[in-house]
Chain A
């Protein structure tokens, strides 16, 4: 078993990066690997509840975040400073996540076999 870490750094709509990252996370989980899913920078917007993307004819891919637990993806993190910079808190988020600091992020990356940033 390997540790695969994903850094999701883009907003949920506007580019396909968020969906691409989520798909990789789910595929890794299906292969029963240790997965760290980390939301940082603009990526923290994916976690915010209440998106209504039908208004821009986009699919609500972030609804699939609710399924992470079912897939066994338990290590879901948000970079605390990315939330703070955007005046967001845990109360705004649609799923429970662990907050991490820059130092904790470094150690998560250091202890991973593969790191993918999207």
Chain B
């Protein structure tokens, strides 16, 4: 089955981003295909390469980044949500004349159209965090 996943919950104050990661890993293990993961609202914080997790806690941003790189998944961060929360790639940082970019490896920044496209091309769309 072709599955897309939307994550909306904050990775630092909600469980949903971890649940979504576990779900994606289970889906791949079961032989399903992941068409796209779309990060919306507070979940775009997962795209920051600058977060620091306490030593005895899991760095969920790093875990997601590693996961999407390992399986070469299409991991899209919503641009409108990202800009508001200070998640910028090089081109957005230069467009808005910000001092740095912080988008972690493995993620792309794009628009809500990518989510609609995922709905059209997937057998199931599963949301985490709402």
Contact = CB atoms under 8 A, between A and B. Distances in A.
A20 B116 contact: no
Interface residues of B, number: 17
Contacts, number: 42
A117 B8 CA distance: 11
B130 interface: yes
Given A27-B112, A30-B113, A113 B119 contact: yes
A94 interface: no
A28 interface: yes
A24 interface: yes
A2 interface: yes
Contacts of A117: 127, 130
Interface of B: 6, 8, 40-41, 80-81, 111-113, 115-117, 119-120, 125, 127, 130
